[in-house]
Structure 1
Amino acid sequence: MAKDIAGPAAADALREAAGVPFESARAMPPEVYTSPEFADLELEHIFREDWYCIGRASALPESGDYVTCTLAGQPIMVLRDKDGAIKAQSNVCLHRMSTLLEGRGRARSIVCPYHAWTYNLDGTLRGAPAMTLNEGFCKDGYRLPQLRCEEWLGWVFVSLNPDAPPVATQLAEVEALVAGYDMTNYTEAFFEEHVWDTNWKVLAENFMESYHLPVCHAGTIGGLSKLEEMVCVPGSPAFNYHTILKDDTLRIAMAHPSNDRLKGDERRTTFLLAIYPSLLITLTPGYFWYLSLHPKGPGQVHIRFGGGMSDDYANDPDAQQNFADLKALLDDVNIEDRGCTEKVFAGLSSQLAKPGHLSHLERPNYDFAQYIHGRVSRAD
């Protein structure tokens, strides 16, 4: 049975854990993952305040292309308008408040599935049947609320916070780190949505450390990376990362011959980027895949899972088959990760759960705990 500890108590436990230097740090306390009240604090002080990634701009190539999500309880649509700009707005009808669009698709206009109120792509009301007898109704007075939306290196972010600092400002250091990869020119080839039975932070932390690869992924990629070649540096306020060197057994993980931007070991270096709060990117010189996470209470996580290739490989005849083979491997890796992270949450929910000391390969997890503490402490 999950522990039912109040959010402030969990925040106090996290404050104590976060105050320890990395050299003697432990994992975050179990109640930080299992407390419903703490999960509410995260929605209020993290997901309603920071930027959330809905995926790649390349997934919205044409006017009317849209994706939907729910951010901290607010249904949102993100679409490319008739002028070619990507915009975010409320996905709730202004009449009887039904949600409007679902999933992904393309629309010339936005039609409410309840009473057919119809909106233009810019959120203005185009038409509303059988409203002529209401003397107070004026079509021009209706427009779907507009939300913050920014593109950065091909990623699309939304925020409910009108005062959130620009994405590019917060992530300028990341942009410099991966400049030679030209991440803007990676095209999404697949997108899926999943729900796993674990806390969102468990899955985020699982991505942030490769310490688990030899064991959790023994059946797939566990033997492809050497622990002694993993580099885990101290994180920054808006992100953390670690790097792994790949060998040339997977050609599309290497820099393309036409890429003269990367030199030496850079041509086989994989960045594992954790953009706070919940965008997790595996970036190789040839391909990428990502997870964008959103909590569904303390015990479930909604996952936006996508990936694709660098446009450097666009004209290589064998690259698409290589990527299809990689996607099949990633599916197997996800099965392994799901098993591991759901076991972790089951263990966290035990009355006997106690956090152990962190390995030097789990430095990103320590920095993530500092971020969570800094955000949730705003409730004090």
Structure 2
Amino acid sequence: MLQLPDIFDAQNYARVRSALPEAQTMPHWCYTSPEWHRREIDAIFRPAWHFVGLASMLPSRGSFLTAETLGQPVLLVRSDQGIRAFRNSCRHRGSILLEEAQGTCGGIRCQYHSWVYSLEGKLLRAPGTEESSTFDPERHALTDVRWAELEGLLFVTLDENAPPVDQYFGDFAERVARPYRIAEMACVHRRSYHLASNWKLYVEVDMETLHTKHIHRGSIGEQPVVSPPTSGEWITVFHESDHTPALAPGERHLGFPATPGISGAANRGTHFSVLAPGFFLVTAPDCMWWIQKYPETPTRTRVDVGYCFPRASLDRPDYAEVSARYIRRWDQVVREDDWITEFQQRGLPGSTPGCYTPEEHVVHRLDNWILDRVLGAAGDRTPSAQGVPG
């Protein structure tokens, strides 16, 4: 069995901390070690806000979404009082309450023993307790989960001490969400699956353009970007172009018009953003898509993908024909990134560190952001107090 050094000794990461082009990539154990994985969960994921869906996916009373965050089942539902978030777990014996990823219900019933809850989480019926003089239904209401909406994006956190979501993500709403009118987006396709790779590999491939002309030569091709500074727990690159990047190179003149009301940089190109730790969101002038990553083990990641258009595009008579071009291209690119991250994971155990090329400078910044949090204040530089380094 391979003997590892003290993987939390900051000296082992001195070369990762170096400036480009002298820097080396993170050691292999950062992508394979159970101990490192556990520290990431505690230091990065537990204090974070995690994306679960769009507010537009909860359009009316009884609409619900389910998700799993850090192994905890979560349920969001629209009641007469607005959106509520609960643990998706019966207060009797802990069974899952709603299993579908998305749907509509008139109330919430546990399949195990038919305990029934209102959309506000109040226990309405509890078979088996009728003869009890001590049973208190109010003490068995559904357990609330902290949630927030940011310009149409819904997030949950399991950390009661996490800062408000708009503070956590800093200037993201001002710089991206409002100009691209995210709140006007409707999700038209969503799917979840698992990959045999570390979550960081997928986040890293999201934020570098070196691979696009190799892995995506037929679906994206060359895609030059700039990386503007940000504040808060997010980072972005911007691709300026008159044509949408959401279609294959030969079809970019066959897309939808721009989203009504977009402004500023949204009129000139596309932002590729990571809302830390694992929510990759692409906002283009004509559409939006996401690839969310949830680490389950050091070498297993659950991926949630969503494709979105502004509501105005859904009403067009040519919607089916045009949207099919987008979905075909999105599926192809996702498959290509899925493949290369699993392929990379297979080669990592026992490998020696590599280098960062100039086109991977954002990966270098992200990796150092991870080190700041996993290693804490130890080491040769002060952890970032301003979120992902801009």
Asked if these proteins are the same fold (TM beyond 0.5), I'd say: yes
Tell me how far apart the structure 1 counterparts of residues 199 and 190 of structure 2 sit (CA, whole Å). 19
CA contact (8 A) 2:170 2:231 kept: no
Among all aligned residue pairs of Structure 1 and Structure 2, give the percentage whose two residues are the same amino acid.
Answer: 28
Tell me how far apart the structure 2 counterparts of residues 172 and 157 of structure 1 sit (CA, whole Å). 15
Task: Give the CA deviation at 1:272.
Answer: 0.2
**2:93 alignment partner, one of 96, 113, 136:** 96
Alignment-derived partner of residue 343 in structure 1: 343
Alignment-derived partner of residue 111 in structure 1: 109
- Tell me the TM-score normalised to structure 2 length: 0.87
> What residue identity is the alignment partner of 2:126?
A
SS at match of 1:232: coil
Q: Does 1:242 align with 2:244?
A: no
Task: Give the CA deviation at 1:51.
Answer: 0.4
Task: Give the CA deviation at 1:134.
Answer: 3.1
Alignment-derived partner of residue 327 in structure 1: 327
CA contact (8 A) 2:181 2:261 kept: no
CA contact (8 A) 2:150 2:165 kept: yes
Over residues 278-336 of structure 1, what are the superposed CA-to-partner deviations in whole Å (9 max), with x where a residue is unaligned?
11011101101101110110111111110111245344433442222110111111221
Task: Give the CA deviation at 1:128.
Answer: 0.5
Alignment-derived partner of residue 42 in structure 1: 40
Task: Give the CA deviation at 1:52.
Answer: 0.5
Q: Does 1:168 align with 2:166?
A: yes
Tell me how far apart the structure 2 counterparts of residues 251 and 63 of structure 1 sit (CA, whole Å). 40
User: After the TM superposition, which residues 159-308 of structure 1 pair with which residues of structure 2 at under 5 Å, given as runs?
Assistant: 159-178=157-176, 179-222=178-221, 225-226=222-223, 229-233=224-228, 236-248=231-243, 249-251=251-253, 256=258, 259=261, 261-262=263-264, 266-308=266-308
Structure 2's unaligned 5+ residue stretches are: 244-250, 379-390
Tell me how far apart the structure 2 counterparts of residues 321 and 18 of structure 1 sit (CA, whole Å). 47
Tell me how far apart the structure 2 counterparts of residues 55 and 252 of structure 1 sit (CA, whole Å). 28
Residues 36 and 188 (structure 1 numbering): CA distance in 2 closer, same or farther, change over 3 Å? same
Which stretch shows the higher mean deviation, 331-340 or 236-245? 236-245
Tell me how far apart the structure 1 counterparts of residues 232 and 259 of structure 2 sit (CA, whole Å). 35
Residues 81 and 28 (structure 1 numbering): CA distance in 2 closer, same or farther, change over 3 Å? farther
Q: Does 1:125 align with 2:127?
A: no
User: After the TM superposition, which residues 131-170 of structure 1 pair with which residues of structure 2 at under 5 Å, given as runs?
Assistant: 131-170=129-168
- Tell me the TM-score normalised to structure 1 length: 0.89
Tell me how far apart the structure 1 counterparts of residues 287 and 12 of structure 2 sit (CA, whole Å). 36
Task: Give the CA deviation at 1:77.
Answer: 1.0
CA contact (8 A) 1:192 1:306 kept: yes
Over residues 119-164 of structure 1, what are the superposed CA-to-partner deviations in whole Å (9 max), with x where a residue is unaligned?
1112221110121233321212211221110011211000001111
Tell me how far apart the structure 2 counterparts of residues 252 and 376 of structure 1 sit (CA, whole Å). 46
Tell me how far apart the structure 2 counterparts of residues 67 and 74 of structure 1 sit (CA, whole Å). 14
Tell me how far apart the structure 2 counterparts of residues 93 and 19 of structure 1 sit (CA, whole Å). 47
Q: Does 1:31 align with 2:29?
A: yes
Task: Give the CA deviation at 1:15.
Answer: 4.6
> What residue identity is the alignment partner of 1:98?
S
> What residue identity is the alignment partner of 2:181?
D
Tell me how far apart the structure 1 counterparts of residues 255 and 362 of structure 2 sit (CA, whole Å). 23
> What residue identity is the alignment partner of 1:318?
D
Residues 367 and 86 (structure 1 numbering): CA distance in 2 closer, same or farther, change over 3 Å? farther
Over residues 249-269 of structure 1, what are the superposed CA-to-partner deviations in whole Å (9 max), with x where a residue is unaligned?
525768638547347xx5341
Tell me how far apart the structure 2 counterparts of residues 19 and 10 of structure 1 sit (CA, whole Å). 14
CA contact (8 A) 1:48 1:71 kept: no
Over residues 173-215 of structure 1, what are the superposed CA-to-partner deviations in whole Å (9 max), with x where a residue is unaligned?
2222224322221211111111111111111111111221010
CA contact (8 A) 2:228 2:238 kept: no
Task: Give the CA deviation at 1:41.
Answer: 1.5
Task: Give the CA deviation at 1:357.
Answer: 1.6
Alignment-derived partner of residue 247 in structure 2: none
SS at match of 2:179: helix
Residues 153 and 4 (structure 1 numbering): CA distance in 2 closer, same or farther, change over 3 Å? farther
Task: Give the CA deviation at 1:372.
Answer: 1.5
> What residue identity is the alignment partner of 2:80?
K
> What residue identity is the alignment partner of 2:277?
P
Which stretch shows the higher mean deviation, 277-286 or 323-332? 323-332
User: RMSD over aligned Cα, in angstroms?
Assistant: 2.5
> What residue identity is the alignment partner of 1:277?
P
Alignment-derived partner of residue 317 in structure 1: 317
Count of equivalent residues: 369
Which stretch shows the higher mean deviation, 59-68 or 8-17? 8-17
Which stretch shows the higher mean deviation, 111-120 or 231-240? 231-240
Alignment-derived partner of residue 86 in structure 1: 83
Residues 193 and 252 (structure 1 numbering): CA distance in 2 closer, same or farther, change over 3 Å? farther
Alignment-derived partner of residue 248 in structure 2: none
Tell me how far apart the structure 2 counterparts of residues 375 and 4 of structure 1 sit (CA, whole Å). 24
> What residue identity is the alignment partner of 1:197?
A
CA contact (8 A) 2:169 2:231 kept: no
SS at match of 2:214: helix
> What residue identity is the alignment partner of 1:261?
S
SS at match of 1:180: coil
Structure 1's unaligned 5+ residue stretches are: none
> What residue identity is the alignment partner of 2:138?
D
Which stretch shows the higher mean deviation, 13-22 or 38-47? 13-22
